[in-house]
Structure 1
């Protein structure tokens, strides 16, 4: 998606536009930019001044609502292309209608599809994305300094470990802890301990 700076500046110089009547559209793979574009003339005839759109940025691949964004730098590919979005906006302009975007900046989808979040779990406070998230790096429990505490285990840690529910896997050049549907990247500083155990097991073969 490309943005013409001069056009953006011109738009910002315009007086504030106050919506008169909004109509919310829930975008998903069954209702795309093209579908919304086709509705614009009808909505205009109803007196709607602005479309209020559900989140349009890329969510988790299994998302049906879009409120679990994993990448704010691209649209949800299931909704269409950048050109499809621009065509929707052009049609809205032709009808002198506006577009309100729900960008949900206060939360994101947490999974390995979220590069920012995954990097924070892997690199901790040294991650270039650490300041993007509201994380208490100095909690009352000093043992948790510079750590992220996530309540995902279904039982006490020891019981989960003894039950074999935590698995270390190597995936795409990194080590991860798998716990059912969850995947958590391990810090590179821990790789030595993992490889030491692997080599120890191999020496017994």
Structure 2
């Protein structure tokens, strides 16, 4: 697996539109604009994406270890099948795109904003989303055991995968339709008076 550092990226690698099975070590993409680039089977170690603006970028089956996404913005991006280990997402914004089959256990997403994102079968076990924004998400078949959505804005999100007995939902913001889904998950029978 070829290794690319910030020096290699600045020299020429940053001009490539596709990267297959590359190891990126301590890559500094702070304040970088990326559009239409595809990374497939790549590994990012100790890399910084702070304040980057990414549009239509694909990270397919990639691995992120100890990466920083502070104030990064992802618009219509794909991270399908990717895993995140020890990464930080302070003030990260994700608008649209496909983040299905990702592994993001125990991540702190409390200051992050995810809107209109497909996250089917995502592993969000133990994820902390306290006071965050997770609006309009497709969480079909997602793993949510131990996730904390206290005070989180969940309006428009598919909550069929949520088990209120194993997921913290206190003070979460939801719609009446979502309340019915959660009541049914608890085995309640809903009837008109």
Larger RCO, structures 1/2 (Cα 8 Å, 6+ apart) = 1
Larger Rg: 1
Identify the structure with the greater strand proportion. Answer: 2
TM-score normalized by the length of structure 2? 0.26
Identify the structure with the greater helix proportion. Answer: 1
